[in-house]
Amino acid sequence: MSYFLHTPNTNQLLASLPDVERYALMADCETVELAFGKVLFQPGDTITHVYFPIDSFISLIAVINGGIRLEVAMAGREGMLGTSLVLGINEAPLLALVQGSGTALRISAARFQWLLEKGPVLHQRLNKYLYVVMNQLAKSVACNHFHQIEARLARWLLMTEDRANSAQLQLTHEFLAMMLGVRRAGITLAASALQARSLIRYHRGAIVVLDRPGLIETACECYTEDCALYARVMKSL
């Protein structure tokens, strides 16, 4: 089970569009390289471009009290960055940080909004994706409050593996602690527990997923529910 409905190395939202609308949008896109750690938007920034990741992925992070960070959503090849434009709002609500380096298709916000007005299927498809994102945001809040760190870490590793299209992930404990909003010691204990059960292997900033089915069993139900929702909503038109 994963988020993705089609083949790798393409953006799922674009791949699901009718040929006419997909070609019209892609004609105005440029391919860009996104480097790990690059900030694409700060909260409150004007959205100048929309990104459709191909083999990169982006963390959407809430920033409170002047610097405390917590990841609340993720955008990879299953989706896009710049969803608030679908609502006619050109302000970024969250910090957008490149978590996985790679390529993305980029289009100017102005051209994207023009195509959105002219493309009924594009608009409908992105409304559905917006619903999925809203669910992901709400689920993240509940998950962070009610579920144990070990289950949340397993869920997060699965989500990251889906978007990285690789079982080997470059992640430090400090970065994981920031993403999950916990202390580094909590991540160390949770990662050690997963490694002791041969679900992952980690060493000096590298984590390898060894047993994906086992990791799914360990993760909270939020992961499988998110996958099922994406498949159900995005397959229907």
Q: Are residues 92 and 127 in the same domain?
A: yes
Q: Which tens digit of pLDDT belongs to each residue from 88-128?
A: 999 999 999 999 999 999 999 999 999 999 999 999 999 99
Q: Are residues 103 and 89 in the same domain?
A: yes
203 CB-contact burial (10 Å; exposed 0-12 / middle 13-18 / buried 19+): exposed
Which CATH number does the domain housing residue 69 bear? 2.60.120.10
Alpha-helix runs per DSSP H in 16-119: 19-27, 109-118
| Residue where one domain finishes, among candidates 117, 144, 171 | 144
4 confidence band (pLDDT: 50, 70, 90)? low
Check pLDDT > 90 for residue 230: yes
Q: How many domains does the chain have?
A: 2
User: Which two three-digit tokens encode residue 107?
Assistant: 């289009």
65: left (phi over 0), alpha (psi -120 to 50) or beta: left
pTM of the model: 0.91
Check pLDDT > 60 for residue 3: no
Q: Write out the residue range of the structural domain in which residue 211 sits.
A: 148-219
166 confidence band (pLDDT: 50, 70, 90)? confident
Q: Are residues 127 and 185 in the same domain?
A: no
The better pLDDT of the pair 117, 9 is held by: 117
| Residue where one domain finishes, among candidates 91, 116, 144 | 144
